[in-house]
Chains A and B, each alone.
Chain A
């Protein structure tokens, strides 16, 4: 068990809808990262937060947004969903920045129909 909790585990929704994915990092970890993994593809970095502030941005679409709250949990919001957004979304956390080991949650599987 990595200590990183993601909810929900599965999400099925229709095109055009909006969903929110939630991540609770490991106790004591200040950084949260979001990754997207489409079927049989590698992990694509979306965004990183450190202690409530955005630290780095990857290939995140404008339809997607995220935030990290004072209690350090994070939410990833996906809107105007398209079929191509169907993927596994992973959250990871680390003590500091990405120079420290990353611990991944088990992901949220999003299916857009």
Chain B
């Protein structure tokens, strides 16, 4: 069964500090992995999309890594800001043969404190 597990479920960090969120998946056959940021009460917004051949991708202070061999991804937030307080969702897409089905992780809720 395709699954996406995220850890931790939640974390609190001080403004200016860095943090790393984890995503482990069992989706197969793999097509791509996406990270979304979801502010409370708003729709998710795409941060990064990585395919099998990409092992790192950045979007401003957000850097995602992908290890397709171990089926793990991480999202690193550098120099956190109060506006980074949100839920971060890892989404893995199966390939076309599997209908490009998307499997969503449960998200990591990040709270940045001043």
- A interface residues with partner B (beta carbon < 8 Å): 2, 4, 41-45, 56, 88, 90, 92, 97-99, 101-107, 109
Contacts and interface: CB of A to CB of B under 8 A. Distances in A.
Interface of B: 31-32, 34, 36, 41-46, 49, 89, 93, 96, 99-102, 104-107
Contacts of A90: 43-44
Nearest to B105: A42
Contact of A107 (B31, B42, B96, B99): B42
Contacts of B36: 104
Contact of B41 (A2, A42, A43, A107): A107
B67 to A, nearest CB: 21
A2 B45 contact: yes
A86 B89 CA distance: 21
Nearest to A41: B106
Closest 6 interchain pairs by CB?
A104-B43, A98-B100, A42-B106, A99-B100, A106-B43, A104-B44
B49 A101 contact: yes
B91 to A, nearest CB: 8
A92 B107 CA distance: 18
Contacts of A42: 89, 104-107
Contacts of A109: 41
A107 B36 CA distance: 15
B102 A98 contact: yes
Given A42-B106, A42-B107, A43-B89, A98 B43 contact: no
B111 to A, nearest CB: 14
Query: Which among A41, A45, A104 has the greatest number of chain B C-beta atoms within 10 A?
Result: A104
